[in-house]
Amino acid sequence: MISVLCNEGEREIAREFFELFKTPWEFFVPGRTYPVIISTRPETPELEARLLIVFSSKPTTFDDREGILVGPAASDHLLIKPSTRIPIYGNLASFREQGQPATCDSGDSDTVALKVTEPHANVLRVGYDLFGEVAFLLSEGQPAENAPIPTLEHHISLLRNWILDAGIPVVEIPPIPQGHTFIACLTHDVDFVGVRRHRLDRTFWGFVYRALVGSAVGYLSGRSSLRRLAKNWTAIASLPLVYLGLIEDFWDQFETYAELDQRFSSTFFLIPFKNRVGTNLHAPFPRRRAVHYDICDVREKVDMLTQLGYEIGLHGIDAWHSAEEGRQELARIREVTGQTDIGVRVHWLCFDRHSPEALAQAGFCYDSSFGYNETVGFKGGTTQAFRPLGLTRLLELPLHIQDTALFFPGRLGLTDTQAWDLCAPVIDATVQRGGVLTILWHMRSLAPERLWGDFYLQLQQDLQNRGAWFGTARQVVQWFRRRRAVVFEDCHVDEDTVRLRLENGGCGPEARLFLRVHRPRKIEPASGHAAPAYFDVPWDGQPSLEISLR
């Protein structure tokens, strides 16, 4: 059992951190003995534990006792050998004098993690504020230059490894359903449902220019194929027939997505009110945000999707800053779908630090707006759904990969090969650490002039080949809720056995949760090879388990 000795203002974020690192823990109780104690207080009492980890970017009473000199680090990141970089967004301290440098430094020969041996504990003195870092990641989010780095997941791994290095086993519930390697969530923002709704407006002429000129330039420069050029020019030639209603509108891709996603679950976010720009916008050309349809215009499509098992969510306009507007938008979606448990992704990903509270007050069960418009990656530094600070029910399903960020000329403007090179490390990190990879492919992106369907199919196939469990956004959030409902009530470890007591939170076998037991690092003397790093134990909700480390 890990014990946490923290400041009163850090208790909420500590709870959230240990929902993501789902391992036995509790706040420090005087008189109890713990194998691991984490302290973030400036005054660090002498504590008895196999491992005491002191996190602070400022001098502590522990430093005074040990004669450790604390100063600012020359860098703003950690380097974990051989090449893992962990950004630090608050202060980072370095240490001199006593102790042995631990396994991380700031990249400038600074010691920012120091091992010290005390009579009653082995101490690891770490020069940053763990819960401050977590709070920043889950509220402000990382800048785009650090998007590929799952920073919060690195903090979890670093803590786990420090405990294992001290010879202490770690038990956790991984953020993946049993039998899979990670979770994939396919989503579609529906900004356009037909080109014939745009009559000689900016959207129409932008499409014509990109289909005629942009695709020709792409082909001549070798960035696009002759097939795409032919499809785009054919679409331009067919426009009179589309407007006359003689052929299908090629921007209406509901049926195509229903066919492509039939082996998977996916979620469609639809606009509640047409021709609304929204308020409180601080973006160029805000009038372009108004959409020429709303969910009432596509009732038949909505009925078709829901009958096939797809989820309908809200593509919000003003819900991100106004609970009252959010309630009106939510009511519109409920009216058409007949459903009550509705999630939201805000149009243009409008979002600020007050948005989670407004969305929660409006009555949404989750939000999926926390992501990048300009790149792909981990804005919150995590692969997991999390609870924004100060809330009780609403969960944030982070967005990781967006098509327009990859391909749109005003953003990254990548080729398919370049886009795959950018997405592959994000996928790899999710497969390695578990959690969910949330993908946004817009309704219009399969059609001319974008024609990004081949890449979408490649993504689908790759995620399936890697062992993903596919769920709608609501299903994914519900799975994370079940995992969060489990409570480790007690954990006792002797030499070769782990004994656990758990409150299952109403979860049974259908939740597909399991336990992962990490062995401390050691070499098997008979074979000379390292023991397996961990083993998995099925769990069907029973309140107590006894697990042999052998």
Q: From first to last of its 550 residues, what are the pLDDT tens digits of the chain?
A: 899 999 999 999 999 999 999 999 999 999 899 999 999 999 988 888 999 999 999 999 999 988 889 899 888 888 887 778 999 999 999 998 666 777 677 766 788 899 988 777 899 999 999 999 999 999 999 999 999 999 999 999 999 999 999 999 999 999 999 999 999 999 999 999 999 999 889 999 999 999 999 999 999 999 899 999 999 999 999 999 999 999 999 999 999 999 999 999 999 999 999 999 999 998 888 889 999 999 999 999 999 999 999 999 999 999 999 999 999 999 999 999 999 999 999 999 999 999 999 999 999 999 999 999 999 999 999 999 999 999 999 999 999 999 999 999 889 999 999 999 999 999 999 999 999 999 999 999 999 999 999 999 999 999 999 999 999 999 999 999 999 999 999 998 887 889 999 998 887 788 899 999 998 866 343 444 556 688 999 998 889 999 988 7
327-351 in b/e form (b: 16+ CB < 10 A) is eebbebbbebbeeeebbbbbbbbbb
A 10 A CB-CB count for 324 gives 12
Query: Does 320 map to a domain?
Result: yes
Q: Which position has the token pair 């196939």?
A: 461
pLDDT at site 526 = 41
Q: 54 lies in a domain?
A: yes
Whether 278 and 382 map to the same domain: the answer is yes
Same domain, 462 and 509: no
What's the confidence (pLDDT) of residue 524?
Answer: 47
Q: Do residues 77 and 95 make contact, with C-beta atoms less than 8 angstroms apart?
A: no
Question: Do both 160 and 186 map to the same domain?
Answer: no
Clarify whether residues 31 and 84 are in a common domain: yes
- Range of the structural domain that residue 529 is part of: 486-548
Q: Any idea which residue has 């993908």 for tokens?
A: 439
Dihedral angle sign, alpha carbons of residues 290, 296, 297, 300: positive
Same domain, 307 and 242: no
Is residue 267 classed exposed, middle or buried when 0-12, 13-18 and 19+ CB atoms within 10 A define those classes? buried
Q: Structurally, how many domains does the chain consist of?
A: 4
Judge if 219 and 318 occupy the same domain: no
290 assigned to some structural domain: yes
Q: Which helix (H) or strand (E) holds 268?
A: strand 266-270
d(CA 373, CA 232): 25
Please check whether residues 204 and 66 belong to one and the same domain.
no
Task: Give a yes or no: residue 177 inside a domain.
Answer: no
pTM higher than the cut 0.85: yes
Q: What pLDDT shows up at residue 344?
A: 98
User: Same domain, yes or no, for 341 and 458?
Assistant: yes
* CB atoms near residue 150 (< 10 Å): 27
The answer to whether residue 521 is domain-embedded is yes
**CA-based angle 439:456:435, to the nearest 5?**
30
For the record, the structure tokens of 483 come out as: 């995992």
Of the residues 425, 442, 477, which one is the last residue of a structural domain? 477
CATH code for position 96: 3.40.50.880
Sequence-separated (6 or more) residues with CB below 8 Å from residue 45: 61
Same domain, 417 and 270: yes
Q: Give phi and psi for 182, each to the nearest 5.
A: -170, 180
142 vs 93: CA distance, rounded Å: 20
CB 131 within 8 A of CB 84: no
Torsion sign over Cα 54, 60, 65, 71: positive
Same domain? 77 vs 95 = yes
